[in-house]
Amino acid sequence: MPYITLRDGAQFYYKDWNPPESTGTGTVLFSHGWPLSADAWEKQMFFLAAHGYRVIAHDRRGHGRSDQTWDKNDVDNWADDLSELIEKLDLKELVLVGHSTGGAEVARYCTRHTTARVAKIVFISSVVPQVVQSSVSPDGVPVAVFDGFREAMLKDRAQFFLDVPRGPFFGFNRPGAKASEGLVESWFTVGMQGGLKAVYETSRSWEVDYSEDLKALEIPALVIQGDDDQIVPIKTGALAAIKLLKKGTLKVYPGGAHGIMDTQPEDINQDLLGFLKA
């Protein structure tokens, strides 16, 4: 399996699908959300690779197959890790795609490092600009909710990691929703591969204000979110983000849940492809 060694010696896993029939039309790099891994993007990676794109996704430190380091589980270090991957693979003309927490990671990479290697950026159900309730994000999630998440993880992470996908993540708790036990089990399995400390500390990134990161972006940005996202309220997510982006395009999915890459993969795939070709 492909790994790079990071500055602190940590082993950092990534998958790189560059099919022989690739048309050389570009490279798409995916950053996953909490508490998942590169595997969260397989539907999108398979689709885009079949359309001639090189597709890459990594496991954030502490998640999936990457090393479970004790420290550096914060957005600045994630941006540094991403920078090391991009530099070591010498990637150029990238399209960065971030879901949920991954949106914070790709935004911070662009402002902490550079957009010289980045052509476009995509935020899907992202925590940017600020998901926690604050004076600048009055429609955000009260910090007490995140405190409850952290308490639940420490008390019984396994049960919590079943409750989240069975409920708000995919919207399976909505009346008439047809739940997929396969999606639930997959989310649980991948989530439990992450280290407790890493997934616990990741929740602190949801309390960060990324407004300045978005304001600084000069590249085209696509913002996608469902209006029934129970994890990141759309008012504090996509609707707030689009106001800060200089070259932003907004796509709202009526009734869409947080995990729309899995619940509406055909729509996401077509919107990504259209943005890549634009």
Angle in degrees, 0-180, between the axes of helices 101-112 and 75-88, rounded to the nearest 10: 70
Provide the token pair at 2.
């492909």
125 is catalytic: no
> How far, CA to CA in Å, does 265 sit from each of 65, 91, 234?
24, 26, 19
Of 59, 229, 262, 271, the active-site residue reads: 229
* Exposure string for 66-100, b = 16+ CB within 10 A, e = fewer: bbbbeebbebebbbbbbbbbbeebebeebbbbbbb
Of 121, 89, 118, residue with least CA distance to 104:
121
Which residues lie across from 121 on neighbouring strands?
A: 96, 221
Contact present, 218 and 87 (Cβ < 8 Å)? no
What residues have CB less than 8 Å from 71, skipping those under 6 apart?
none
Contact present, 234 and 225 (Cβ < 8 Å)? yes
Measured in residues, the chain has a length of: 278
Of 31, 100, 125, 205, the active-site residue reads: 100
Of 235, 224, 209, residue with least CA distance to 265:
224
258 is catalytic: yes
58 is catalytic: no
Of 32, 58, 99, 258, the active-site residue reads: 258
**Which residues does the annotation mark as catalytic?**
100, 229, 258
